[in-house]
């Protein structure tokens, strides 16, 4: 099944180069995306057996990232079919600089989209650190041509920055992989594999200094790809200059894959009992990213860049949640899902706004409720959702993170709330201006040609709303399974690094005589009382 | 009858790599840089043989030959192709002079030797031997990227940095993991290919090879 998930889009990508007719190629794209989504959903019902000696396996977090990736890709593929049809052939004028440009060949664009899906699935299904790196690096190589679909100067500059910065970042992650290998091999009696299970089992005896160095390289490397500050500089450019459906995929699916890299590395350091080292790093980078995102959102003039900086802020929230642990970590995983759904929807809607107004400057976009009634309603709902307002899923996740932070560090919790407030004001005010007022003179309500351009983001926003109101048991189980566990020292326990301990259960094993810890009850009063 | 070389092949290769790093930092002409990168690439391709962990058999020899061909021939060919497609514009002056770059490279080498000693002996002692040269090559690549204004030099820097990482990884290469290294290398080849196309498009779109001219996207 896992091989099928990886190879199906790969085969479709190859086929798309040989299909000459655009319409058939679009059918192939949507058909493959639909089939891939069905396969991913079937994995939710019956998780597939690990393959390649455990190097490819779908654990809870992998399954979640896979499902999100396939859902967003299906949404993007439906949107793409209409979008590609509406793109005029031949040269046309760039509305910013007035220079002429053409689009990249549609066959290349479709093939790169499908290759992006294949590599993202590989990253999601990899429990081998080398394969994970390959999956994430491949997403960089195949998504750069997607950013440069509109062949003008700005998209070229954005694609170059993205390619160079992310390639260097990912190279740092490769150094991290090497150091991780050295850290576990230097103290082991026999060769240790690079799968997560092997590394977690070997981590307690690994050389701690080298493991710390490996973690720093992995955090910086995958953090660059994830767009955390101060390595985020490629992200606003790439997200604002790429076609909207590509921005949706970059923000909703690609960032999750990079987060997965950091998540896996954190699992290894947690197993080595190095959370005292990794948590402050995660929290610092998290707060720095949130601050950077908030600062650039306030007064931002470009609505696509505003969404991109919101991405930087949300990636900061994810790191903060991972560094805080316990309930916050579970909230973080939920936040990843919520952010993907809402941000992808917002980028697709931004594409509708851009197609109508021919500008990305927020001050020039007014009276959306008259020109684009459905898009404007969804845009407002999406902005409310992405700011973490109830009843959307991001409210629940941000609240869980706040709870965790209050227990761990009240000053950080206060600052977190302050930043959320700044972002709320910074995004709601321009959204309200875009919604209300009179449309610019000369612009008329566009003829509805592409029903999927509204229906697709609507489905994503409704999903985010429903998840905020009701959490299905299967998804809740997935979140509980995915949330990283914390070592017992955090709650005052002494860890027992028993040989052969598993990646999750071992962390909560305590010395004989002390009560067993419930992973889901960490940081709660009951557990803390027990420790005393 | 045994035959022994009058010199240690590993140390000789590592010395050549380090010297080529410094030469790259001091080089002004792109053609010379490409030749030096090709030479580094050929040496890198043979490194898994020097690691000895894999044992020398037909499979290992074949994979090493593929490494050497990709790193020493295909990637330099890509660079040469990109260079030929660039307009004949004068190369912009670097942010940091070439002589100063060499001094920084020597500083990077010293830092790498110090770091190598600090890290102690790893399970595979070969790693400790390769570490200073690998780290110095990585630093040289980063220096090339950040000190040069020419966009092609940034691509050179990326490939030199990757050579450094490849060198660091070579002592760990076992027969069973060579396929993984090959896949990593193919990924890098893909990245270099896309970068080559991007450099060509940028030189046409901006009519410049200066990275400073390609900075219109700001907040």
- Residue where the block lists tokens 């830092």: B111
Q: What local confidence, expressed as pLDDT, does residue A282 receive?
A: 96
ipTM of the complex: 0.88
Q: Is A10 helix (H, G, I), strand (E, B) or coil?
A: helix
Nearest to B152 by CA among B216, B76, B44: B76
**What's the mean pLDDT in A59-86?**
93
Can you give the pTM of this predicted structure? 0.89
The answer to whether A198 contacts chain B (CB < 8 Å) is: no
Is B168's CB within 8 Å of A175's CB? Answer: yes
Q: How far is CA B31 from CA B28, B38, B93, B152, B204, in A?
A: 9, 11, 17, 11, 20
Hey, what are B10's tokens?
Answer: 């590993």
Report the distance separating Cα A43 and Cα A59, nearest Å.
11
DSSP state of B72: I
Query: Do B119 and A210 meet the contact criterion of CB atoms below 8 Å apart?
Result: yes
Hey, what are A397's tokens?
Answer: 């996740």
**What is the tens place of the pLDDT at every residue in B26-68?**
998 889 999 999 999 998 888 877 766 556 678 778 888 888 8
Q: Who has greater pLDDT, A300 or B178?
A: A300
Nearest CA distance, A367 vs chain B (angstrom)? 25
Q: In chain B, which among 85-124 make CB contacts under 8 A with chain A?
A: 119, 122-124
Residues 6+ apart with CB under 8 A from B62: none
> Which residue in the set B127, B161, B217 is minimally distant from A157, CB to CB?
B217
Q: What local confidence, expressed as pLDDT, does residue B54 receive?
A: 56
Q: Is the pLDDT of residue A77 over 70?
A: yes
Nearest CA distance, B135 vs chain A (angstrom)? 10
Q: What local confidence, expressed as pLDDT, does residue A486 receive?
A: 59
Is B122's CB within 8 Å of A181's CB? Answer: no
Is A160's CB within 8 Å of B180's CB? Answer: no
Q: What local confidence, expressed as pLDDT, does residue A505 receive?
A: 37
Report the distance separating Cα A401 and Cα A161, nearest Å.
33
List residues bridging with A195 in a β-sheet: A128
- Please name the residue ranges forming H helices in A186-254: 196-202, 208-226, 234-241, 244-249
Nearest CA distance, A139 vs chain B (angstrom)? 10
Q: Is the pLDDT of residue A302 over 50?
A: yes
Q: What local confidence, expressed as pLDDT, does residue B67 receive?
A: 86
């Amino acid at each position: 099944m896992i091989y099928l998930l990886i190879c199906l889009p790969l085969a479709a990508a190859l086929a798309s180069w040989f299909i000459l007719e655009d319409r058939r190629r679009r059918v192939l794209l949507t058909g493959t995306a639909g089939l891939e989504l069905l396969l991913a959903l079937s994995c939710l019902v019956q998780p597939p057996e690990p393959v390649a000696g455990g190097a490819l396996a779908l654990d809870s977090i992998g399954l979640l990232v896979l499902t999100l990736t396939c859902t967003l890709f299906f949404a993007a593929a439906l949107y793409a079919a209409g979008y590609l049809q509406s793109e005029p052939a031949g040269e046309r004028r760039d509305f910013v600089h007035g220079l002429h440009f053409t689009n990249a060949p549609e066959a290349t664009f479709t093939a790169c989209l499908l290759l992006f899906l294949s590599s993202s699935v590989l990253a999601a299904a990899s429990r081998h650190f080398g394969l994970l790196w390959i999956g994430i690096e491949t997403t960089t190589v195949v998504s750069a041509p997607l950013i440069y679909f509109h062949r003008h100067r700005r998209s070229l500059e954005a694609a170059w920055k993205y390619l160079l910065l992310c390639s260097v970042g990912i190279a740092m992650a490769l150094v991290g992989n090497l150091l991780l290998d050295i850290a576990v091999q230097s103290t082991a009696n026999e060769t240790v594999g690079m799968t997560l299970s092997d590394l977690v089992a070997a981590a307690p005896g690994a050389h701690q200094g080298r493991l710390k160095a490996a973690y720093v390289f992995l955090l910086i490397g995958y953090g660059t790809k994830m767009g955390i500050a101060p390595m985020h500089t490629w992200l606003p450019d790439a997200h604002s200059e790429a076609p909207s459906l590509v921005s949706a995929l970059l923000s909703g699916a690609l960032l999750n894959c990079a987060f997965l890299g950091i998540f896996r590395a954190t699992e290894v350091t947690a197993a080595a009992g190095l959370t005292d080292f990794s948590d402050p790093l995660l929290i610092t980078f998290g707060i720095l990213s949130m601050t950077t995102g908030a600062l650039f959102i306030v007064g931002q003039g470009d609505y696509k860049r505003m969404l991109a900086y919101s991405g930087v802020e949300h990636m900061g929230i994810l790191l903060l949640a991972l560094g805080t642990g316990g309930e916050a970590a579970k909230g973080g995983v939920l936040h990843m899902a919520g952010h993907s759904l809402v941000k992808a929807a917002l980028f697709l809607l931004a594409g509708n706004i851009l197609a109508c107004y021919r500008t990305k400057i927020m001050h020039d976009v007014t009276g959306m409720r008259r020109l684009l009634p459905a898009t404007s309603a969804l845009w407002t709902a999406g902005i409310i959702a992405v700011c973490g307002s109830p009843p959307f899923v991001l409210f629940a996740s941000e609240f869980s993170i706040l709870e965790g932070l209050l227990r761990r560090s009240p000053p950080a919790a206060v600052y977190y709330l302050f930043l959320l407030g700044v972002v709320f004001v910074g995004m709601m005010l321009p959204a309200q201006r875009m919604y209300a007022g009179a449309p610019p003179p000369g612009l008329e309500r566009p003829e509805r040609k592409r029903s999927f351009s509204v229906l697709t983001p609507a489905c994503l926003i409704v999903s985010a709303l429903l998840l905020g109101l009701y959490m299905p048991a299967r998804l809740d189980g997935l979140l509980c399974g995915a949330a990283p566990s914390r070592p017992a020292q955090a709650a005052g326990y002494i860890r027992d690094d028993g040989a052969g301990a598993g990646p999750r259960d071992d962390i909560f094993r305590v010395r004989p005589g002390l009560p067993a810890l419930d992973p889901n009850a960490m940081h709660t009063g009951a557990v803390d009382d027990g420790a005393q | 009858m045994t035959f022994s070389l009058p010199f240690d092949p590993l140390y000789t290769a590592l010395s050549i790599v380090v010297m080529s790093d410094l030469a790259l930092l001091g080089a002004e002409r792109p053609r010379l840089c490409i030749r030096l990168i090709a030479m580094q690439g050929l040496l890198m391709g043979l490194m898994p043989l020097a690691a000895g962990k894999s044992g020398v058999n037909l499979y290992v020899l074949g994979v090493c030959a593929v490494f050497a061909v990709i790193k020493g021939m295909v990637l330099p060919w890509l660079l040469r192709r990109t260079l030929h497609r660039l307009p004949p514009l004068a190369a912009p002056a670097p942010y940091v002079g070439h002589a100063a770059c060499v001094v920084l490279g020597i500083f990077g080498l010293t830092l790498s030797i110090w770091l190598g000693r600090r890290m102690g002996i790893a399970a595979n002692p070969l790693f400790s031997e390769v570490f200073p040269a690998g780290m110095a090559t990585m630093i040289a690549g980063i220096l090339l990227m950040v000190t040069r204004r020419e966009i092609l030099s940034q691509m050179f820097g990326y490939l030199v940095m990757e050579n450094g990482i490849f060198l660091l990884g070579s002592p760990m290469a076992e027969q069973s993991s060579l396929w993984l290294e090959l896949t990593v290398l193919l990924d890098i080849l893909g990245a270099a290919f896309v970068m080559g196309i991007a450099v060509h498009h940028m030189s046409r779109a901006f009519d410049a090879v200066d990275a400073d001219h390609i900075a219109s996207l700001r907040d």
